[in-house]
């Protein structure tokens, strides 16, 4: 045993859409991918925006002022995983096809071009194509070197290479239908091998002994022998599992009080309170009634009591959310956001907002409103009737709610059949991801039917601005514009998670963003620590 097998509660064993790393939208699945697949670059600190090389030997050479070309030099000797050999199983057809070969510049080129291919039958499912469409050409200079040229200067281009989904896959793993939606195809060059996925039970990962180890291979990371994500979303189940040390780390789902109590009972526990990038939003179709009328959208925006959502869904442990998460530095300053109509919490100000909401709604002819809620997580679905009541009270009109699966929500967005959805979204690191794909006329997540040339030019301007402070200022302009004149995506709130971990869990780092499971390379279980006593063995 090296660092042991970490056990943590999570949603990684749920597959809502697809296992394909380039086509999934479901955060927990690409969290699993982030342990298995590598990227050209990676985020060392997503909150501060610190990027470091992953497959790249060093940070890309940037050519031009403003930059238009990037020369990427890959580490030599990076090999695809051999799950059969490591796990003592007969190798799958996919593994045989790869044969543990070396990752080369051709793989990077293929992975990028795959997501730029508009002729693919899976083209509508490349949600992150907006990042790759900026590429003009990719030239393979030699086995380890690429020269990437963008169509125009793109400030977040290095972020694209490091983003939580920018995985490099092997061509051999993709089938004729341009999919790799198979467990056997989950073979990458990352620090962990995906051992087994037992849907709605657990997802198991083991250490990849051949992992290249970034800049310090001598550390022989990952220290862990593996980790297991156990599908659990009931507070009682998670609390019991944590107390019995069947999981080494825990966080609340609906009731934070057990975490608070646990911390009081066990002061030695590692405790971290940190916001989650995932947030709750409502999406409105702006190209058809009733939400093509800005007054109706604004009425819903003003009538929605965001503080009530925080109180009802997360028992007060949450933060109001503008168009960009308050976790990242691109967000509108909190003092500004909290002074805006719809975000104000003072009693008199709320009354003003509600009165204005009703006035706008009545001026728009009091249309009927139907809200479609996602059924996951259960805490959000159970809020649906209360939201209905809240809108009914505030607007004085007919409001219906229905609860459907997350898949139905995604499909409804794609087909334009859902006028008003209320669901979670994953949360992003860079300003561009929060705004461009959602609100640009050609954005891959623009399910609002939004076509606004002025907004498009603002979104393009922030892409062209390389100075971080000026880009942030442009980002604020976009956010103000969205709140003043668009209101297509009503951003509600995000939870603040209360984490606890046993002291024997070394290198504990809460995962704020999906797609950052590679942070686990620095984790290990200290079997010599007194708190380790009584921890049941087994994966």
At 112, list the tokens.
């990028």
Residue 498 Cβ vs another protein, minimum distance, rounded to whole Å: 14
Closest CB to another protein among 199 and 219?
199
Residue 387 Cβ vs another protein, minimum distance, rounded to whole Å: 9
Residue 386 Cβ vs another protein, minimum distance, rounded to whole Å: 5
Closest CB to another protein among 129 and 403?
403
Closest CB to another protein among 181 and 382?
382
At 491, list the tokens.
């951003």
Q: CA–CA distance from 348 to each of 177, 301, 344, 524 (Å)?
A: 58, 17, 9, 52
Closest CB to another protein among 345 and 531?
345
Closest CB to another protein among 187 and 395?
395
Residue 514 Cβ vs another protein, minimum distance, rounded to whole Å: 22
Site of tokens 């995985």: 167
Residue 533's nearest CA partner among 233, 257, 268, 207 is 268
Could you list the residues that contact another protein (CB under 8 A)? Answer: 235-236, 253-255, 257-258, 261, 307-308, 311-312, 315-316, 345-347, 350, 375-376, 378, 381-386, 388-390, 401-403
Closest CB to another protein among 19 and 313?
313
Residue 22's nearest CA partner among 163, 207, 176, 232 is 163
Provide the 8-state DSSP code for 130. H
The number of beta carbons lying within 10 Å of the beta carbon of residue 28 is 22
The number of beta carbons lying within 10 Å of the beta carbon of residue 266 is 14
CA 302 remoteness from chain centre: 27
At 156, list the tokens.
């977040």
Closest CB to another protein among 270 and 382?
382
Residue 10 Cβ vs another protein, minimum distance, rounded to whole Å: 18
Residue 351 Cβ vs another protein, minimum distance, rounded to whole Å: 10
At 214, list the tokens.
């970034």
Closest CB to another protein among 25 and 253?
253
Residue 360 Cβ vs another protein, minimum distance, rounded to whole Å: 22
Residue 402 Cβ vs another protein, minimum distance, rounded to whole Å: 7
User: At 166, phi and psi to the nearest 5?
Assistant: -80, 55
| Run of H or E including 96 | helix 93-98
Question: Residue 80: is it exposed, middle or buried by C-beta count within 10 angstroms (0-12/13-18/19+)?
Answer: buried
User: In sequence order, what E strands does 208-317 have?
Assistant: 226-231, 249-251, 270-275, 279-284
CA distance between the termini of the chain: 12
Distance CA 324, CA 481 (A): 13
């Amino acid at each position: 045993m090296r660092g042991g097998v970490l056990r943590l509660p999570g949603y990684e064993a749920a597959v809502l859409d697809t296992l394909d790393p380039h086509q999934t939208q479901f955060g927990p699945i690409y969290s699993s991918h982030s342990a298995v697949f590598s990227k050209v670059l990676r985020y060392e600190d997503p909150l501060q925006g610190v990027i470091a090389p992953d497959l790249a030997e060093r940070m890309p050479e940037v050519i031009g002022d403003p930059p238009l070309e990037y020369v990427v030099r890959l580490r030599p000797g990076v090999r695809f995983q051999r799950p059969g050999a490591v796990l003592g199983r007969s190798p799958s057809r996919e593994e045989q096809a790869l044969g543990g070969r070396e990752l080369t510049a051709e793989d990077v080129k293929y992975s990028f071009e795959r997501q730029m291919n508009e002729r693919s039958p899976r083209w509508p499912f490349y949600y992150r194509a907006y990042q790759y469409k900026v590429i003009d050409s990719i030239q393979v200079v030699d086995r380890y070197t690429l020269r990437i040229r963008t169509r125009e200067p793109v400030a977040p281009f290095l972020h694209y290479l490091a983003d939580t989904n920018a995985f490099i896959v092997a061509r051999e793993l993709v089938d004729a239908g341009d999919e790799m939606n198979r467990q056997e195809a989950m073979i990458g060059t990352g620090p962990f091998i995906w051992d087994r996925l037992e849907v709605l039970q657990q997802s198991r990962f083991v250490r990849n002994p051949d992992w290249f180890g970034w800049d310090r291979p001598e550390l022989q990371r990952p220290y862990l022998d593996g980790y297991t994500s156990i599908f659990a979303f009931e507070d009682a189940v998670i609390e019991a599992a944590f107390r019995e040390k069947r999981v080494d780390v825990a966080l609340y789902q609906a009731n934070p009080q057990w975490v608070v109590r646990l911390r009081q009972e066990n002061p030695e526990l590692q405790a971290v309170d940190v916001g989650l990038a995932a947030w709750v939003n409502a999406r409105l179709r702006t190209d058809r009634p009733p939400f093509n009328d800005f007054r109706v959208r604004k009425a819903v925006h003003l009538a929605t009591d965001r503080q009530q959502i925080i109180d009802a869904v997360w028992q007060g442990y949450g933060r109001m959310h503008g168009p960009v998460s308050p976790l990242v530095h691109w967000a509108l300053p909190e003092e500004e956001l909290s002074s805006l109509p719809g975000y104000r919490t003072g009693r008199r100000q709320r009354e003003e907002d509600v009165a204005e909401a009703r006035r706008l709604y009545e001026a728009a002819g009091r249309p009927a409103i139907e809200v479609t809620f996602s059924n996951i997580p259960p805490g959000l679905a159970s809020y649906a009737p209360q939201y209905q009541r809240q809108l009914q009270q505030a607007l004085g009109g007919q409001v219906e709610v229905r609860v459907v699966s997350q898949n139905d929500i995604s499909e409804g967005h794609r087909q334009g059949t859902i006028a008003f959805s209320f669901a979670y979204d994953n949360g992003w690191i860079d300003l561009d991801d929060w705004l461009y794909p959602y609100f640009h006329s050609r954005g891959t997540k623009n399910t609002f039917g939004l076509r606004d040339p002025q907004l498009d030019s603002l979104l393009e301007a922030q892409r062209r601005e390389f100075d971080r402070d000026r880009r942030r200022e442009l980002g604020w302009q976009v956010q103000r514009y969205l709140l003043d004149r668009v209101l297509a995506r009503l951003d509600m709130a995000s939870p603040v998670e209360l984490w606890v971990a046993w002291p024997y869990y070394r290198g504990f780092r809460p995962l704020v963003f999906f797609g950052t499971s590679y942070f686990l390379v620095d984790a290990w279980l200290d079997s010599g620590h007194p708190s380790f006593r009584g921890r049941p063995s087994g994966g």
